[in-house]
Amino acid sequence: MLNVALFGYGRAGKIHYKNIMESPNLILKYLIEIQDISKEIDDSVNLINYNDKTLINNVFSDKKLDAIIITTPTKNHCELIMLALENNKHVFVEKPITENKEEIVTCFDLAENKNLVLFVGYNRRYDKTIQNIKERIFNNEIGTVNYALTISRDYPYPQESFLKISGGLFHDCATHDIDYMNWILNDKPISVYVSVPDNNDNTDFNYEHATINLKYSCGTMVVMNLSRISSSYDQRCEFYGSSGEIINNEFNQDMKLSFPDRYKNAFKTELLNFVNCIKTSSPALVKKEDCLNNLIIANACEESVKKNKKITIKYGDGYRNYNNVSKNVYENYLIARTYQTVNFVNTMHKKYSNLDTKMEIWDILEDLNDLVDVSDPDVSHPNLYHAIQTAESIKKDGLPDWMQLIGLIHDLGKIMYLKGDDKTGTGKKKQWAMVGDTFIVGCKLSDNLIFPEFNEKNLDTINEKYNSKYGMYEKGCGLDNVLCSWGHDEYLYKILTSSKNPNTIPEEGLYMTRFHSLYAYHDKKDYFYFQSEKDKKMFYWLKKFNSYDLYSKCDDIIDLNESKQYYMNLIKKYFTNTYLYI
Ligand code: FE
Ligand code: FE
C-alpha cells in the first residue's frame, strides 16, 4: 500500500480523489485544498488548508508518505513538485506540468537524480480507443499516415473562475490532442498555422473555437478542431493512411457527457500506471521531451494567432540546434553519415555529370518551391523564400551584386531531385545525399560534425586508406582537391563550372556555393590542414556568406513578383543565357 497526499480538489482533483479512494493500492492520507470541502471528504482523510504552511510542511516531511498527486492550478505545480522530490516523494502532476521550459527541465532532472517517478497526467494516452489506434498505426495497418483530423469540444462550458486560471485554449485543451498525436505518429510538427474567430480582442487565448493546422516532419498533415462549445463532450479522431483508414467518430449529442465520464477508465488506468511505475521503478510514459515539445507547440499556436501567419516551430534555442530535432532531421543525418563514402560520392559525380536538361533559371527557383529541406531544423518554408531572403539581406547590407546573385541561387543544386530518387537520397522524401551539412570523405570524419556519434557508422571507417587524419589526401592539398559528401553544393558547382553554362561569376562566388554546407570547415574551423593559399583567401567570403544563409531563415513571406525584375537583371548580367543545363 502506498500513502499519498492529494493537492487540489477542482475539476481533476475530484476525479483523482474518487479513484484513490477506490484503489486497493492507495491510501489517501492528506487532502490539501483552499476551499472548505469537509462535508464531501471521508473522515479518514486529513484535510489541510492550502494556506496553512506549517501543516503543509508536515505533509512533506512525513516519512511514511510515498507520493503526492498535484491537481492545483498550473502556476503552483513547479514549487510543489520540487518540494515533493526534495523530500523523496514520487509525484503525479496533472498536465501541463508547468508553462516554463527551464522549470520542466529542472523538475525532470531532479526526479532522475533522485530516482523518483515524475508522472505527468496526459490521460488520453491511457484511453483504450487511443491506445488501440496507436497500436494499429504502429503495426502499419494503414500504411503511412498522410492526414489526420481531431475534434475536441468541451462540455459543459467551463466556469469563469476556471477559465481565468486555465492557461488558454492551447495550453489547456489543445495540449492533449498535440500530445497524443505526437505519440501516435511518433513524430512532431515542424510548422503550425492557427485560425481563430475574427474581431476577438481576447488577450488570454481563451477562444471558443480554433483550428490548428500542423505539418509533421514526416509529411503528415494534421488538422485539430478545438471548441469550448458543444452539447456533449466530443472527442473524435480520424487517420487516413496510404493503405487504409481509422475512423473514431463516436459522438452522441444526447449523452450530455463531460470529460470525467468520457475518460473515466483512462483516469483509472493512468493512476494504476503511476502506482506500477513506483512499484517497479520504471519510467513514466510521458517524458521530459514530450512535455517540452507540448509546451513549445502550444506557444507556437499562440504566436501564430498573434502574427496571423504560419510559424516554423523551433525546438531548440537559436539556429542550428540539433538537440531534440524531429525524426526526419535525425534520420537524414544518420543515413548520410552511414552511406556517404568515397565510392558513393564518385558514383554520384558520374551520375550527375551529363548536364543534359535545359531549364530557365527562374523556373528552377520556382520549381524548388515544391521542395522543403528535410534536414533543416529551422525552416519549414519552401526554398524559394529562403533564396530571396538570403539575396535580399545581402543586398540590404550593400554587398556586391554577384554575392546577391549567389544568395539567390546558392541552393539551386537541390533541383537535383528532378533527376534523383529516394533510394539514393536525392528524392523529394529522402534527401540525405542532397541536403544537410557536408563532410570530407576519404579521411577521418570530423568530430565536429552534427551527431558525431554517427561517425562510426560510416562504411569507410573500416578502410585503412580512409580513416587516418589525412586519409587519401596530403597536407595543404587544397579543398579543390578533396571529395565532399555528395549534396546540392557540389552539384551546383558542377553546373556553374560547366562550359555548357557560361557565366562570369567570380571565384569567390563559386567557392561559396561549393562549400556553404561544409560547416565543420567554415563554422568549426576543421580541415584547415588541407587549406591551400587559395582556400586561405576564400575563407573570409565563405564565412561572410554563411551569416546570410543562416539568419535569413524566417517565416516572413516575400512578394516574389516585386523582386523578380531586379533578380532577372542580375541573372542576365552574370549569365550568358537565362537558362542552365542541369
Ligand atoms: Fe544550402
Ligand atoms: Fe541555404
Q: pLDDT tens-digit profile of 61-83?
A: 999 999 999 999 999 999 999 99
Q: What is the C-alpha end-to-end distance of the chain, expressed in Å? A: 72
Ligand 1 center–CA 371 separation, angstroms? 13
Q: How confident is the model at residue 198 (pLDDT cuts 50, 70, 90)?
A: confident
Does residue 20 register a pLDDT over 90?
Answer: yes
Average pLDDT on 2-31 reads: 96
Instruction: Residues 125-262+282-311: name the CATH superfamily.
Output: Dihydrodipicolinate Reductase; domain 2 (3.30.360.10)
Ligand 2 center–CA 569 separation, angstroms? 21
Q: Of the candidates 383, 220, 268, which has an alpha carbon nearest to the alpha carbon of residue 17? A: 268
Ligand 1 center–CA 542 separation, angstroms? 12
C-alpha cell, 380: 519549414
Average pLDDT on 155-165 reads: 83
Does residue 186 register a pLDDT over 60?
Answer: yes
Q: From CA 286, how far away is CA 118, in angstroms rounded? A: 9
Average pLDDT on 488-514 reads: 97
Q: pLDDT by residue (tens digit) across 528-576?
A: 999 999 999 999 999 999 989 886 655 665 666 778 899 999 999 999 9
Q: Of the candidates 157, 131, 360, which has an alpha carbon nearest to the alpha carbon of residue 256? A: 157
Q: How confident is the model at residue 89 (pLDDT cuts 50, 70, 90)?
A: very high
Ligand 2 center–CA 297 separation, angstroms? 25
Ligand 1 center–CA 91 separation, angstroms? 46
Q: Which ligand is nearest to the CA of 408?
A: 2
Note the Cα 412 to chain centre separation in Å: 26
Ligand 2 center–CA 551 separation, angstroms? 10
- Give the CA angle between residues 41, 45, 51 to the nearest 5°: 85
Ligand 2 center–CA 422 separation, angstroms? 21
Average pLDDT on 360-374 reads: 86
Ligand 1 center–CA 237 separation, angstroms? 38
Ligand 2 center–CA 386 separation, angstroms? 7
Average pLDDT on 112-126 reads: 96
Ligand 2 center–CA 515 separation, angstroms? 11
Q: Which ligand is nearest to the CA of 545?
A: 2
Q: How confident is the model at residue 57 (pLDDT cuts 50, 70, 90)?
A: very high
Ligand 2 center–CA 435 separation, angstroms? 10
Q: How confident is the model at residue 261 (pLDDT cuts 50, 70, 90)?
A: confident
Q: Which ligand is nearest to the CA of 387?
A: 2
Q: Where are the domains of the chain?
A: 2-120, 125-262+282-311, 340-352+361-581
Ligand 1 center–CA 435 separation, angstroms? 7
Q: Which ligand is nearest to the CA of 414?
A: 1
Does residue 105 register a pLDDT over 80?
Answer: yes
Ligand 2 center–CA 410 separation, angstroms? 6
Does residue 447 register a pLDDT over 90?
Answer: yes
Check residue 156 and give its pLDDT.
85
Q: Which ligand is nearest to the CA of 319?
A: 2
Check residue 556 and give its pLDDT.
61
Does residue 409 register a pLDDT over 80?
Answer: yes
Q: Which ligand is nearest to the CA of 438?
A: 1
Does residue 581 register a pLDDT over 90?
Answer: yes
Does residue 380 register a pLDDT over 60?
Answer: no
Q: Which ligand is nearest to the CA of 436?
A: 1
Ligand 1 center–CA 451 separation, angstroms? 19
Ligand 1 center–CA 411 separation, angstroms? 5
Q: Which ligand is nearest to the CA of 551?
A: 2
Check residue 258 and give its pLDDT.
83
Query: What percent of the chain has a predicted confidence (pLDDT) above 70?
Result: 95
Does residue 507 register a pLDDT over 70?
Answer: yes
Q: Which ligand is nearest to the CA of 413?
A: 1
Least confident segment among 257-271, 274-288, 469-483: 257-271
Average pLDDT on 491-507 reads: 97
Average pLDDT on 222-244 reads: 94
Q: Which ligand is nearest to the CA of 548?
A: 2
Check residue 339 and give its pLDDT.
97
Q: How confident is the model at residue 216 (pLDDT cuts 50, 70, 90)?
A: confident
Q: Which ligand is nearest to the CA of 384?
A: 2
How far is the CA of 74 from the CAs of 6, 79, 102, 247, 532, in angstroms? 15, 10, 15, 33, 59
Please tell us whether the domain made up of 2-120 is placed in CATH 3.30.930.10: no
Check residue 558 and give its pLDDT.
63
Q: What is the total residue count of the chain?
A: 582
Check residue 551 and give its pLDDT.
66
Residue in the structure block whose three cell numbers are 539514393: 424
Check residue 379 and give its pLDDT.
58
Check residue 161 and give its pLDDT.
82
156 preceded by a cis bond (ω within 30 of 0): yes
Q: How confident is the model at residue 324 (pLDDT cuts 50, 70, 90)?
A: low
Answer whether 524's CB lies under 8 Å from 355's CB.
no
Ligand 2 center–CA 54 separation, angstroms? 60
Does residue 235 register a pLDDT over 70?
Answer: yes
Contacts of residue 565, defined as CB under 8 A and 6 or more positions apart, other chains included, come to: none
CB count in 10 Å sphere of residue 200: 13
Ligand 1 center–CA 403 separation, angstroms? 15
C-alpha cell, 41: 471528504
**Residue 340: helix, strand or coil by DSSP?**
coil
Least confident segment among 37-46, 202-211, 381-390: 381-390
Q: From CA 215, how far away is CA 198, in angstroms rounded? A: 23
Average pLDDT on 262-274 reads: 94
